[in-house]
Amino acid sequence: MKSRLSTLAVAVSAFALFGAAGAVQADYPERDITYVIPFDPGGESDVTARFQEPILEEILGVGVNVTHRPGGGGAVAWSEFQNSAEPDGYEIIGVNIPHIIGQPIQRSDAGFETDDWEIITFFHSTPNALIVPEDSPFETLDDLVEYARENPEAVTLGGSGTYSANHLGALRLEREADIDVTYIPFSGTGPLPAALEGGHVSGIFNYTMLGVQMEDNARVLAVASEERVPALPDAPTFKEQGYDIVGGAYRGVAAPTGTPPEVIEVLEEAFAEANREITEKQEPLGFVMEYITGEEVDEVIGTLREAYGPILEAAD
């Protein structure tokens, strides 16, 4: 009898402890959350975070502080996050693919690993877009390709980061069109309009959002989507012009490895609701809204690893 009572007491104590732990997680969040954007202000990640911020605060009942830590095409912030962020849900970070796939493959010193975090969700994507100034001599994609063939490396294309969606898009253009261009990485999308308008680059290999933003003083030569993007109805796809180039960036948010599942679930639901509420604002800007969570995250990353692998290997 004594043994049975002791066992029961242990079980009751364990249940009490489990209940207390569950209650702690149920109270999340209890203080402000830091939301790190690993790029400059003004880019796609920042624009979306600013839309999300007030909605997340309303849903979660605490402050959501958007901060910027640009550098290395995202690698600076991602490295710091994976090495120092506590797995308690109070620091989260924007993540982009293919950036988080390509950088560790290409650089042993990237400072972070593709799978070393808990990705909460990917909430939107943006196709790549090839953009030139309004007064550019390149009126069509064929104009640019013809010039690049006759003048190897003379065409300079700015983009966000190295081995990012933009960089990989430029490499695919080189391969598909049999040309050599000079890709110039910037710390994010934010500095690109000034670089284009100031004549520092021949063009930009960036995203559809920037194409929409600059449509009054720039020309979109091609968009890397299967079909024309509704926000840029006059911009032809690469496929329309004979180049099999489809791709861009997926953007989402991650928590540190080891963050409790209950916390991930709270954040996942909050971002899903925020996404629903900002769709009408984002789609006209050139975004494609997504809802990728759980096992689908691994499937998307696996698929894109396979798609970009040959390009990354060829770039070594």
Which pairs count as long-range contacts for 146-155, CB under 8 Å and 24+ apart, including other chains?
148/177, 148/179, 148/180, 148/181, 149/177, 149/178, 149/179, 152/179, 152/180, 153/180, 153/181, 153/182, 154/182, 154/202, 155/179, 155/181, 155/182, 155/202, 155/203
* Confidence band of 114 (pLDDT split at 50, 70, 90): very high
Mean pLDDT of 55-75: 96
**pLDDT at residue 12 above 60?**
no
**pLDDT at residue 257 above 50?**
yes
Rounded distance, CA 216 to CA 261, Å?
A: 46
**pLDDT at residue 8 above 60?**
no
Helix, strand, coil share of the chain (percent; to 5):
45, 20, 30
Specify whether the CB–CB gap between 35 and 253 falls below 8 A.
yes
Mean pLDDT of 218-238: 95
Q: Where are the domains of the chain?
A: 31-125+248-314, 127-241
Q: Which of 7-11, 32-36, 308-312 has the highest mean pLDDT?
A: 32-36
How open is the CA angle 278-190-160, to the nearest 5 degrees? 100
Q: Give the CATH number of domain 31-125+248-314.
A: 3.40.190.150
Q: Do domains 31-125+248-314 and 127-241 have the same CATH topology?
A: yes
The pLDDT value recorded for residue 20 is 38
Answer with the residue of higher pLDDT: 124 or 314.
124
**pLDDT at residue 11 above 70?**
no
Specify whether the CB–CB gap between 37 and 46 falls below 8 A.
yes
Rounded distance, CA 229 to CA 284, Å?
A: 10
- For 85-89, 96-100, 178-182, which range has the lowest pLDDT when averaged over its residues? 96-100
Rounded distance, CA 313 to CA 95, Å?
A: 23
pTM above 0.95, yes or no: no
Mean pLDDT of 89-113: 92
Mean pLDDT of 192-214: 96
pLDDT in tens, 259-303: 999 999 999 999 999 999 999 999 999 998 999 999 999 998 998
Q: Amino acid identity of 116?
A: D
Q: Which residues of 196-235 are buried (b: 16+ CB within 10 A; e: fewer)?
A: beeeebbbbbbbbbbbbbbbeebbbbbbbbeeebebbeeb
* Confidence band of 228 (pLDDT split at 50, 70, 90): very high
By percentage, how much of the chain surpasses pLDDT 90?
76
Rounded distance, CA 286 to CA 120, Å?
A: 23
Tell which CATH classification among 1.10.443.10, 3.40.50.10800, 3.20.20.70, 3.40.190.10 matches the domain 127-241: 3.40.190.10
309: which residues sit within 8 A by CB, 6+ positions away?
A: 105
178: which residues sit within 8 A by CB, 6+ positions away?
A: 149
| Tokens at 252, concatenated | 């989402």
**pLDDT at residue 160 above 50?**
yes
The pLDDT value recorded for residue 24 is 42
The pLDDT value recorded for residue 164 is 87
Strand extents, DSSP E, 40-86: 64-68
| Tokens at 131, concatenated | 């953009």
Specify whether the CB–CB gap between 204 and 220 falls below 8 A.
no
Q: 288: which strand partners?
A: 125
The pLDDT value recorded for residue 108 is 82
